[in-house]
Amino acid sequence: MAYTQRPTIEDFTMSGDTYEIEDYCFRLTDEKDYASGSIWYRKPISLSVPFSIELSIMLGCQDETGADGMVFMFAAQPNRTGYRGEGIGFAGLSPSLGIEIDTWRNYHLNDPAEDHLAFLINGQVGHFSEMSAPTPIPNLEDCRRHKLTVRWKPDQQRLSVEIDGKEIVATNYDLLNRIFQGNEIVYWGVSAATGRYNNFHEVCFDRLSYRTPRHLPSLRMKDVRKLWAMNNER
Ligand SMILES: [Ca+2]
Ligand SMILES: [Ca+2]
Ligand SMILES: [Ca+2]
């Protein structure tokens, strides 16, 4: 059975410089150098069932001098922000899969001149593999909100990303086994960061739609307990 719901603000945890700006929106960074923030959806989701997540993102009002961007993330543990600056609040988080929306060119990471999208694995932000090849897009630092849709179809192992209703990148990749060692339960979140240059970064959540698998409740309890144990050991 498919469910569609609009999450509420209480469904998320905030970290770093993040704060709530209106009923369904968070500001992850202000126009301030060396800032970073993230939000995480509190409830885990399963990679064994199809889902789509719709958000609105705002990447700031400065193009040439605006940085660094945002990353939509799946991770085994919620409530963490990675390195700021070129790390976009994602670098260093592992195991993880990130969808980066990068608005600042870092030559040593193989960034193209244009704003770009890319799939990033285990907190590695450079574009040095076929999987992480960047897809250039028109300027997104235009002071406007853009719709970001992330879709997962487990039967085809297909992960796709749309911006303003248009598919920009897609991949067929065994996320479950190649990244998460067969653990289907993951968390999702969104990060943003600035460095020597900055921008506003905001995220508003629109819709979460997923199918609830019959076997999830038992698995979820077991995995949540395991994750809690892991978290509390550190
Ligand atoms: Ca820029
Ligand atoms: Ca960059
Ligand atoms: Ca730009």
Residues bordering ligand 3, an ion, CB closer than 5 Å? 63, 103, 115, 139, 141
Distance in angstroms between the alpha carbons of the first and the last residue of the chain: 38
Tell me the backbone φ, ψ of residue 223, rounded to 5 degrees. Answer: -70, -35
Q: Which fold has domain 2-233?
A: Jelly Rolls (2.60.120)
Q: Are 166 and 67 in contact (CB under 8 A)?
A: no
With 70 as the cut, is the pLDDT of residue 210 above it?
Answer: yes
With 80 as the cut, is the pLDDT of residue 178 above it?
Answer: yes
Structure tokens that stand for 153 in this block? 């179809």
With 50 as the cut, is the pLDDT of residue 221 above it?
Answer: yes
Rounded distance from Cα 59 to ligand 3 centre (Å): 9
Q: Tens of pLDDT along 35-78?
A: 999 999 999 999 999 999 999 999 999 999 999 999 999 999 88
pLDDT above 90 covers what percent of the chain?
79
Kindly indicate the confidence band of residue 2, based on its pLDDT and cuts at 50, 70 and 90. Answer: low
Q: For position 90, what pLDDT does the model report? A: 95
With 70 as the cut, is the pLDDT of residue 223 above it?
Answer: no
Rounded distance from Cα 92 to ligand 1 centre (Å): 22
Q: For position 225, what pLDDT does the model report? A: 56
Kindly indicate the confidence band of residue 234, based on its pLDDT and cuts at 50, 70 and 90. Answer: very low
Q: Are 182 and 219 in contact (CB under 8 A)?
A: no
Residue ranges per domain, the chain? 2-233
Kindly indicate the confidence band of residue 27, based on its pLDDT and cuts at 50, 70 and 90. Answer: very high
Q: Are 28 and 18 in contact (CB under 8 A)?
A: yes
Please name which of 160, 198, 147 lies closest in space to residue 34, comparing C-alpha atoms.
Answer: 198
Amino acid, res. 136: P
Q: Are 98 and 187 in contact (CB under 8 A)?
A: no
Give the Cβ contact number of residue 70 at 10 Å.
33
Global confidence as pTM: 0.89
Query: Which ligand has the nearest atom to the CA of 66?
Result: 1
| C-alpha 48, offset from chain centre | 19
| C-alpha 121, offset from chain centre | 12
